[in-house]
Amino acid sequence: MPAEIDELRLLVEYVCPDCKGQLLRLMCTACGTQFYKLNGIPNFLPKAPRFGCAARISEAYDEIYSHHSNVWEDQGRPREFIDFFSEVVAGLSTGRILEVGCGEGILLDALRSDFKVAIDISSRALQKTQQRTHAQCAVAIAERLPYASESFDVVVSVGVMEHFLDDNEATTEIRRVLRSGGYYVALIHTTLNVPQRLQQKVKEYLYPRVRLVALTKWILKKLYHPISQPLQKHYTTLTGRACLERNGLVIEREITSHDRPRPPLSGQHVVIYVSRKPNTSGNRAS
């Protein structure tokens, strides 16, 4: 009985990702859409044909997480970065947190909050997340978040904006689920040309510090089940900022490798935006 009660309590937190109607045992009481669990995790991928590619992308990431662990460590996510990013978020709020595109939950585990919620497009990634944290997880996309409006104090995403199918809809949805005065902390990788990418890898693995073990792991990953991510959008620092601002968020801070003291970012192409939903109630996120 306690497990059943707990499941019902969790279902109250969800809404239909399409019409935002209340769910009862994963069926929308408004539009009648029935959602299901996949590997024990609610699957809220939208039914609309315009998001039909989401299922294919989900399968691609399931394949990645089936063959790799610590998938993004060699893409600027070492422990030093995880600790830094969690400190940035903790300085804003330790309240209700949603991570969009949580992957294996490594960052989510480090975030300071007693109420952590996460979505990812891969159910296999979320299985690993639930082994690492007690977060409430769901398969979903940012364009159709399965949560009621003003549910979270902070939303975070790391290297995910570039993968949004529609960055305007996704950002609007993130703003919707934020409480008044709440924060969206988003990291993006701006576009690099081929010489810049080569220079970045030399910096990561060869100079000024030789990291042969890390370099070997990176090469093996390229040879064994190579990771190919379906990027949807290429950003510059200005276009990333513009996306957030035109969808109703206020940029409070930009963090780059030029800051002092220098943050542990993987290169000049990495930007962290700290943005806020305008406060209409007179209360800031806590």
Predicted confidence (pLDDT) at residue 193 exceeds the cutoff of 60: no
Tell me how far CA of residue 69 lies from CA of 45, 83, 95, 204, 217, in angstroms. Answer: 24, 19, 29, 20, 12
Q: Please determine, looking at this structure, whether the domain spanning 67-192+223-276 carries the CATH number 3.40.50.150.
A: yes
The answer to whether 144 and 277 are in contact (CB under 8 A) is: no
The pTM (predicted TM-score) of the whole model is 0.85
> If you average pLDDT over residues 87-94, what whole number do you get?
97
* pLDDT tens sequence across 235-280: 999 999 999 999 999 999 999 999 999 999 988 889 999 999 998 7
The answer to whether 147 and 13 are in contact (CB under 8 A) is: yes
Alpha-carbon distance of 17 to 148, in angstroms, equals 9
Q: Which residues contact 39 (CB under 8 A, 6 or more apart)?
A: 123, 124, 126, 127
- DSSP class of residue 240 equals H
* pLDDT tens sequence across 144-160: 999 999 999 999 999 99
- DSSP class of residue 263 equals P
Task: Give residue 102's pLDDT.
Answer: 95
Q: Which residue ranges make up each domain of the chain? A: 2-55, 67-192+223-276
b or e along 82-91 (b: 16 or more beta carbons within 10 Å of the residue's beta carbon)? bebbbebbee
> If you average pLDDT over residues 191-208, what whole number do you get?
63
Task: Give residue 68's pLDDT.
Answer: 72
